[in-house]
Chain A
Amino acid sequence: MYEIEELEKKWKRYRLKKIFKKFTYLIFTASAILIISLILYEFSNTKKMVVANVEIDKKEPKNEEIPKKENVTNVEKKVLKEDKNKTIIQDKEIKKIEEEPKVVVLKPSTDFLTRIENLEKKQQTNKIKENRHIKKEKVEENSKKNKQNETIKKPKIVIEKRDNSNIINELIKKFERTKDPKIAIFLSRIYYKDKHYKKALEWAVIANELDNSNANSWILFAKSSVKLGKKEEAIKALETFLSKHKSYKTKRLLDEIKNGEFK
């Protein structure tokens, strides 16, 4: 029957159409989903940007939070390198800067934010450099005014950990108030870790003067001495301590120094 073959051809056309329809529908929905998610993504980004800006605007004068170390580290390094030859006074300055009420609040959450932060930091670093120059020149003249200036213009940066200066300054102050030998030991340990052996030795001696029964002050003295090339003094000190006290830790260090394991 010719008729039914015609019908089959029609049916094939119908099937093709149906498949085509399904296919286009699929493509349509897929692209719709894609577009929507792109829009949503863009939207959320813009939102974050706005939020970030608002946060910075709001919190800059308020000084509520301390920026995260990771973001500051790079800048710190730069600052530190440049400030290598600065004295403790400068350290104190930095510390004061930190204590200034104005602190940038940087809450990194997106790439975008990090970029902004970096930008800001660059600006800050530059400002710091400028300020420092000015300061160096005018240190003796009018330090108070200078400080005020700094506070006003100021880049507010918190320098932490990297050189332990804050903690050290804090601890020195506290030590001056309390004369606590534990603080002296702690300071000695910090300087030792920072490879400031001279200072470590000084603080070990201070601690030892206040409390010569604490093995830690002897150990820190010995270690710093060795590092400063005064191996004999180290051995002598440790032996003195061991003649009066029993300390396994001290004994082991003594042995290590003697046989050259500890250098």
Chain B
Amino acid sequence: MEKKSHYSKAKECFIDTEDAKKFIELDQSVYFLEKLKQTVKKPLKMILLYGEPGIGKSILLNRLYLELLKSNSNVHLFLSPILDEDNFTKTLYRKIFSRDENIDFNQFVDLVNKELSFNSTLILLDEAQLYSNSQMEKIRILSDTRKIKFVVSLHKTEQEDLIAKGHFQTRIWETIELKPPSMNELETYIKKKLLGKNLFNLANQFHKKHIKFIYKYTKGNYRETNKFLYHLFEIYEYYEKNKPSKINFSRISKKYLEMSAIKLGYIDV
């Protein structure tokens, strides 16, 4: 069996994932995770989590779900929106009550009021910007029961739209905004990713100037950084296979970094 090269392993580190187990503890992410954990204990109707795409909302929500599950069984996570209206009610019903009958929204609300206790259930909704207005209205009605609480995650621009919608203003009790990391934080992110796969050597080859180069183009956005490093190690993989003499195994190549930037369209040629 052929042994996987370091560069191939490194490349795989940077495939996009929302897997809570791959969550990396960075200053900001740890801070927000704790904050969310505290916030969901409060008797709020709704918590808004927002930030630009690729900033780590989904993975944070996943991680929150994973950690809350340890102590609380009444947490439910919806990673992708339930686009069909009828399906929406049915899915919630199934998740919360673990039953599988057809039920309309009014019946469902009655059931919630009858069977659930105050502030007992937490629902995490990712990609909330994709929900329709009527779905959002239903979420509002459910949160008004004070039995179900929602953590709603969405893109920054939509957050403004949502808050602008009058009927949400009074219900959003807490908002949490995720911001791009600092350069140091991005360095930690990259190195922790590599160290997670025992790629100590590669992690050590990243110096400040390399991080700076990457940061310049990705502005710290995690998804963009993932793409950048994925391409970088793909290039390494290629040269390792075809022209290994060209590779300097002791330091990250500026040339390959530039090639990645070209490939991603950061640099025009």
Q: Contact residues of A with B, CB < 8 Å? A: 1, 4, 7-8, 10-11, 13-15, 17
Q: Does B199 contact A (CB under 8 A)?
A: no
The answer to whether B258 touches A1, judged by C-beta atoms less than 8 angstroms apart, is no
The smallest C-beta distance from B176 to any residue of chain A, in angstroms, reads 40
Using CB atoms, name the residue of chain B closest to A6. Answer: B263
The answer to whether A8 touches B259, judged by C-beta atoms less than 8 angstroms apart, is yes
The answer to whether A11 touches B238, judged by C-beta atoms less than 8 angstroms apart, is no
- The distance in angstroms between the C-alpha atoms of A8 and B263, with both chains bound, is 10
The answer to whether B235 touches A14, judged by C-beta atoms less than 8 angstroms apart, is no
Q: Does B164 contact A (CB under 8 A)?
A: no
- By a CB distance below 8 angstroms, the chain B residues around A11 are 255, 258-259, 262, 269
- By a CB distance below 8 angstroms, the chain B residues around A1 are 238, 242
- By a CB distance below 8 angstroms, the chain B residues around A15 are 258
Interface residues of B, CB < 8 Å — how many?
Answer: 12
Q: Does B247 contact A (CB under 8 A)?
A: no
The answer to whether A4 touches B269, judged by C-beta atoms less than 8 angstroms apart, is no
The answer to whether B269 touches A14, judged by C-beta atoms less than 8 angstroms apart, is yes
- The distance in angstroms between the C-alpha atoms of A15 and B262, with both chains bound, is 11
- The distance in angstroms between the C-alpha atoms of A173 and B224, with both chains bound, is 102
The smallest C-beta distance from B265 to any residue of chain A, in angstroms, reads 11
- By a CB distance below 8 angstroms, the chain B residues around A14 are 258, 262, 267, 269
Question: From residue 228 to 269 of chain B, which have CB atoms closer than 8 A to chain A?
Answer: 234-235, 238-239, 242, 255, 258-259, 262-263, 267, 269
- The distance in angstroms between the C-alpha atoms of A259 and B238, with both chains bound, is 106
The smallest C-beta distance from B157 to any residue of chain A, in angstroms, reads 33
Report 17 cross-chain contacts, Cβ distance below 8 Å, ordered by A residue. Answer: A1-B238, A1-B242, A4-B234, A4-B235, A4-B239, A4-B259, A7-B262, A7-B263, A10-B269, A11-B255, A11-B258, A11-B262, A11-B269, A13-B269, A14-B269, A15-B258, A17-B269
- The distance in angstroms between the C-alpha atoms of A10 and B258, with both chains bound, is 10
Using CB atoms, name the residue of chain B closest to A4. Answer: B238
- By a CB distance below 8 angstroms, the chain A residues around B267 are 14
- By a CB distance below 8 angstroms, the chain A residues around B262 are 7, 10-11, 14
- By a CB distance below 8 angstroms, the chain A residues around B238 are 1, 4
- The distance in angstroms between the C-alpha atoms of A192 and B145, with both chains bound, is 130
- The distance in angstroms between the C-alpha atoms of A8 and B239, with both chains bound, is 11
B89-120 near A? 1/0 per residue, CB < 8 Å: 00000000000000000000000000000000
- The distance in angstroms between the C-alpha atoms of A47 and B263, with both chains bound, is 58
- By a CB distance below 8 angstroms, the chain A residues around B234 are 4
The smallest C-beta distance from A19 to any residue of chain B, in angstroms, reads 13
Lowest 7 A-B CB distances belong to which pairs? A4-B238, A10-B269, A11-B259, A14-B269, A1-B238, A7-B259, A13-B269
Using CB atoms, name the residue of chain A closest to B267. Answer: A14
- The distance in angstroms between the C-alpha atoms of A15 and B267, with both chains bound, is 11
The smallest C-beta distance from A52 to any residue of chain B, in angstroms, reads 57
Using CB atoms, name the residue of chain B closest to A16. Answer: B269
15 other A-B residue contacts (CB within 8 Å) besides A11-B255, A14-B258, A17-B269: A1-B242, A4-B234, A4-B235, A4-B239, A4-B259, A7-B235, A7-B259, A7-B262, A7-B263, A10-B259, A13-B269, A14-B262, A14-B267, A14-B269, A15-B258
- The distance in angstroms between the C-alpha atoms of A154 and B169, with both chains bound, is 101
The smallest C-beta distance from B268 to any residue of chain A, in angstroms, reads 9
- The distance in angstroms between the C-alpha atoms of A1 and B234, with both chains bound, is 10
- The distance in angstroms between the C-alpha atoms of A195 and B266, with both chains bound, is 92
Question: From residue 120 to 139 of chain B, which have CB atoms closer than 8 A to chain A?
Answer: none
